[in-house]
Amino acid sequence: MGKDFQTADLRSFAATVRAGSITRAATALQLSQPAVSQRIQRLEQAAGELLLIRDPNGVRLTAAGEILLAYAERMLALHDEARSMVGGAGPTPAGRRTIGLLEDLAITTLPGALADFAALHPHVELDVTVGPAATLRRMADKGRLDLVFGDPTVMPESTVRWQRQVPLLWTCAPGFDVDADPLPLVMFAPPCRWRQPVLDALSRHGLRWRIAFQSTSLPVIQSAICAGIGLGALLVDNLPPTAVRASGPLPPAPLVDLAIARRAGTDTDSALTTLERLLRRAAYNSLPHEEPSMV
């Protein structure tokens, strides 16, 4: 039987991946660099696999490291939650937490996560702002958001705790002519960062297109698609019920980046840790995805 994974080793491993280097992880954990290196080596010995590749630019995960990281984050979250609930670990979390969300995610992953969070932390008030990345970025720059779920550029890269690429899907009204030339499109208005990858995917495929309709509102975009105004590209859970997945001479719709980031200095906030864990679980269950990754 192999050796058990130690919580301290898992924490050093996760912190190193999150920070991007052993040096920065050591600073965040208030440990020496050799101590963090030793813990990671011990974890690799227990796993029987190389987990991190070290190079001059920092560290990157191996295939085994990506698999273990997903488990490590869940194990650490459960450990910290248990510590907060048992043995007089401190005062019950209370007060307000400010959350920023893209509209695309607010109607898919949020409801179940909020219900679970309310049951676990009934004394915490969540102040949720739903808006485009540019609005959330301005709020984050002023320190007005504790956690952001959406565009990874809203908060500094060093605060991103989870990141994943998810595919968009082409969608249109039944009977829509996907062979139209140019192809009419229903798009999110600038400065949406998902807009250009959609246009680039069509152009690289040799398709001509025109913007037939644009809006900053997801429900309005969905209505325009259902009305047959044009082809759209949405997350799977945002496909309108009366629309269909488009086929025909179309390229694969692009992958887009989603992330969870937290304001610096909130690592010990158990309420935010719980919410982060619930959002990750909801995203994993509701969104198609590539292999999960941390940065």
Domain locations in the chain as residue ranges? 7-85, 96-162+264-286, 169-253
User: What is the Rg, in whole angstroms, of the alpha carbon atoms belonging to the chain?
Assistant: 21
Average pLDDT over residues 131-160: 88
Pick the CATH number of 169-253 from 2.60.40.2130, 3.40.640.10, 3.40.50.2300, 3.40.190.10: 3.40.190.10
Closest CA to 259 of 168, 183, 153: 153
Higher-confidence residue of 120 and 44: namely 44
Q: What is the pLDDT averaged over residues 221-227?
A: 97
Q: Domain 96-162+264-286 sits in which CATH superfamily?
A: Periplasmic binding protein-like II (3.40.190.10)
The reply to whether 169-253 shares the fold of 96-162+264-286 is: yes
Q: What is the pTM of this model?
A: 0.69
Q: How large is the average pLDDT for residues 80-90?
A: 63
Count how many Cα atoms sit within 13 Å of the Cα of residue 72 in the half-sphere of its side chain: 30
> With pLDDT > 70 as the criterion, what percentage of the chain qualifies?
92
Tell me how far apart the alpha carbons of residues 270 and 257 are, in angstroms, rounded to a whole number: 26
pLDDT band at 287 (very low <50, low <70, confident <90, very high): low
Q: Which candidate, 263, 254, 245, 260, places its Cα nearest to that of 105? A: 260
| Preceding amide of 190 cis, omega within 30 | no
Least confident of 35-39, 91-95, 151-155: 91-95
Residue 87: pLDDT band (50, 70, 90) is low
- pLDDT above 90: percentage of residues in the chain: 44
- Which segment of 39-43, 47-51, 102-106, 122-126 scores lowest on mean pLDDT? 102-106
What pLDDT score was predicted for residue 292? 37
Is 261 in a helix, a strand, or coil?
strand
60 versus 211: which is more confidently predicted? 211
Q: Is residue 270 pLDDT above 60, yes or no?
A: yes
Between 85 and 105, the higher pLDDT residue: 105
Residue 132's Cβ-side half-sphere holds a number of Cα atoms within 13 Å equal to 13
Q: What is the DSSP letter of 157?
A: G
Instruction: Give the confidence band of 180 by pLDDT, cuts at 50, 70, 90.
Output: very high
Given this model, what pLDDT does residue 29 score?
A: 80
Q: How far is CA 69 from CA 14, 60, 90, in A?
A: 7, 12, 28
Local confidence band at 188 (pLDDT 50, 70, 90 cut-offs) = very high
Mean pLDDT of 69-81: 80
Instruction: Grade residue 295 by pLDDT with cuts at 50, 70 and 90.
Output: very low
Q: What is the CATH number of domain 7-85?
A: 1.10.10.10
Mean pLDDT of 74-99: 75
Helices (H), 127-194: 133-141
Q: Which comes out higher in pLDDT, residue 273 or 239? A: 239
CA atoms within 13 A on the CB side of 79: 12
Any idea what the Cα angle at residue 276 is, between residues 9 and 29, rounded to 5°?
35
- Checking if the pLDDT of 243 tops 60, the result is yes
pLDDT at 293: 36
The region of weakest confidence among 73-82, 216-225, 244-253 is 73-82
Query: What does pLDDT average to over the chain?
Result: 86
Burial of 223 (0-12, 13-18, 19+ CB in 10 A): middle
Reported in sequence order, the residue ranges of the chain that DSSP labels E, i.e. its strands, are: 52-55, 58-61, 95-101, 124-130, 147-150, 160-167, 169-172, 183-188, 209-215, 232-234, 244-245, 255-262
